[in-house]
Amino acid sequence: MNSVIAVYPGSFDPVTNGHLDLIERSSKIFSRLFVAVLRNQDKDPMFEIEERLEMLRQTTSAWPNVEVDSFHGLLADYARRKEARVILRGIRAVSDYEYELQMALMNRKLAPQVETVFMLPAEAYSFLSSRLVREVARLGGSLRGLVPPPVEERLKNKFG
């Protein structure tokens, strides 16, 4: 089997069970997977970058070919630096596809040697997003089954 390196970028604010589903399944497909947290100064994240990296490292440690990292700037440049041949993106709905298609085409223009691969989440996570998890946590709802236990604990601590 050829060695294929992939990058799974995102904000992961926070990491959800949907993210972990894609990470686990893609770890079986790609020889190496970089889960890359974007350092975006324009966003106001709930968790600082180091917290998100720590949560991801804690929840992905079962997969030895998965490495958690962060980046800033263009994803295409990061993928080239990591010698990745694939950018992995999750798509839950048609509305995700429209945005992701634009991004994939731009990344192809910037780095033609890197392909974008879209994966669908497991049915149980097809509705799940970090934004919804933050909202449920903020309003005191149950997070069971939405995020891994260490993330649930952090969210409870953040919102009391």
Annotated catalytic residue, options 27, 130, 134, 154: 130
Annotated catalytic residue, options 19, 82, 85, 134: 19
Q: Which residues pair with 10 in a beta bridge?
A: 37
Annotated catalytic residue, options 39, 92, 108, 158: 92
Question: Quick one: angle between helices 49-60 and 17-27, nearest 10?
Answer: 50
Burial 110-146 (b: 16+ CB within 10 A, else e): ebeebbbbeeebeeebeebbbeebbebbeeeeebeeb
Q: Which residues pair with 116 in a beta bridge?
A: 87
Among this protein's residues, is 92 annotated catalytic?
Answer: yes
Residues contacting 31, CB < 8 A, separation 6+: 1, 2, 3, 4, 5, 65
Tell me which residue of 46, 109, 36 sits closest to 79, measured CA to CA: 36
Instruction: Please check whether residue 7 is in contact with residue 86, taking contact to mean a CB–CB distance below 8 angstroms.
Output: yes
Annotated catalytic residue, options 43, 72, 81, 131: 43
Among this protein's residues, is 26 annotated catalytic?
Answer: no
Q: Which residues are annotated as catalytic?
A: 19, 43, 92, 130
